[in-house]
Amino acid sequence: MAQGGFRTQLEIIILGRRPPKLVETTRQLAEQSGMACVCSEDVYSAVVAVAAGPGGLVVGPFAELNKEQGRFFEIARRNGFACCCYLDDDLSTRRTDLPAALERGAFLITDAAQIRDILTELSRCVCPAHRPGESEIGEPSDRIRRVVEKIIGVGPPRPVAQNGPQPPFVEHFRTTQDELNALFGR
């Protein structure tokens, strides 16, 4: 399969319309990376998108993604999507929900620019040009799921993961409990 065709299998779901900077940055980056970009009004329609999607990344405000007791994170994860939660100013009111979201594999970001690094890494991970072993195993959607599973730290170890180096950005982008404590001033 051509590289371009493979890349378009990765889907970015933008949840909601706020903050505008996050939405605009994500949209631009998705375009630049040749990734499909889907906009969902709320977490309910986002479920439809992840259930039908090939896997990829969901980007949106934490408050929206965390609706319905954060069940969306699990649904996204089992459909091969990683969640990238933007932390807005009302962080302090949500401090009890954050550890649970992290446990469910969500990424936390505080700056829209961080999306660029995540997308670059995600794109590099699933691209056959960068990871030759990937192209030999399974359908593109399966490969994306495997990569996302690796990124968010779930699923059984795959043979392909043992062949190449582990993507380093998991540690970079996942907010640790220590960082959270620092954020909350504890």
Partner 1 sequence: MGDGDKKRSPQLRCGPILVAGDPSKALLDAGELQGPSCQVHTDFLEAIEAAAKGRFAVIAVVIRGASGRLRSVLKALREASEGRIILLARMSEEPRARRLINAELDGSTLADDYMICPIRFSALAARISEVASKMPPPLKNSPEKQRTAPAELSCESRIRYLEKLATQDDLTGLKNRRYIWEFARQIIERARSEGTRVTLLVFDVDDLKRYNDLYGHLAGDRILRQVAGLIRRCCRRHDVVGRIGGDEFAVIFWDARGGQISCGSERRSARADHPAEAICIARRFVEELEKTEIDLPAGKGKPALAISGGLASFPRDGSTIEELFAQADKALLEAKRSGKNRIYLVGKRQNDIARAD
Residues that bind partner 1 (CB under 8 A): 41-45, 47-48, 50-52, 68, 71-72, 75, 79
**Rounded Cα–Cα distance for residues 52 and 175 (Å):** 29
Its sign, for the CA torsion 102, 106, 111, 114, is positive
**Rounded Cα–Cα distance for residues 23 and 16 (Å):** 8
Give the nearer residue to partner 1 in terms of CB position, either 17 or 71. Answer: 71
Give the nearer residue to partner 1 in terms of CB position, either 31 or 74. Answer: 74
Give the nearer residue to partner 1 in terms of CB position, either 3 or 45. Answer: 45
**Rounded Cα–Cα distance for residues 129 and 111 (Å):** 29
CB of 21 to partner 1, least distance (A): 24
Give the nearer residue to partner 1 in terms of CB position, either 44 or 184. Answer: 44
CB of 49 to partner 1, least distance (A): 9
CB of 38 to partner 1, least distance (A): 12
Alpha-carbon dihedral of residues 97, 38, 113, 75, nearest 10 degrees? 30
**Contact indicator for 82, 57 with CB cutoff of 8 Å:** yes
DSSP class of 175? P
CB of 145 to partner 1, least distance (A): 15
CB of 70 to partner 1, least distance (A): 10
- Rounded to 5°, the CA angle 147-149-155 comes to 125
Give the nearer residue to partner 1 in terms of CB position, either 74 or 139. Answer: 74
